Amino acid sequence: MKYAEYAIGALRNRNNIQDITKFKLNGERNECYRSIFLFSEDYKFFVEKTKGVAGFAGEHIADMLIWDFDSEYGLEQVKGRVSEFVETLHWNFGIPYEYIHISFSGKKGFHVIIPFQAICENPNPSVNFWKVYKAMACDLGEGFPFDNSIYELKRVLRLNNTINEKSGLYKI
């Protein structure tokens, strides 16, 4: 499972399935996204045949676990909640600090990302993996104000060091 969907240059440029081990941005700094979930080559063949990702119901896994924290009240407020969440991941769940990556999303919040292997060393691909993934993220994030609508099979996430066209800021 090493294929992901990319949207390069704009969110509307979806349905670009590539091997994550070979993908390179090649200096692209405009909007760029990658699917949260990873798929087998069957996904690539499906998208080539159907010209879209809609309707795909095959096995998938993830290489990272993500939480999206946003705030309408300002970055300082959400920053404090993210700090508390990181401490909870570390102290309550034993996630080493060096596994926890925090990125400014480029607009109104932060993404907290840990390698999926920090939770499960060898995840089993499944057609319902996204449901297990969402349950894990919600359990670990219980009590914190993160956006749990991102846990959909076809969801993509902005890549680091690419711009958010709406805000003009970069995800860093």
All residue ranges of the chain with pLDDT < 50 are: none
Beta-ladder partners of 110: 69, 104
Q: Which residues contact 152 (CB under 8 A, 6 or more apart)?
A: 130
Q: For residue 3, what pLDDT is reported?
A: 97
Q: What is the pTM of this model?
A: 0.93
User: How far, rounded to the nearest angstrom, does the alpha carbon of residue 75 sit from its chain's CA centroid?
Assistant: 20
Q: State pLDDT tens for residues 37-78.
A: 999 999 999 999 999 999 999 999 999 999 999 987 788 889
Q: For residue 63, what pLDDT is reported?
A: 96
Q: For residue 142, what pLDDT is reported?
A: 97
User: DSSP secondary structure string, 134-171?
Assistant: HHHHHHHTTTS---GGG-STT-EEEPTT-EETTTTEE-
Q: For residue 137, what pLDDT is reported?
A: 97
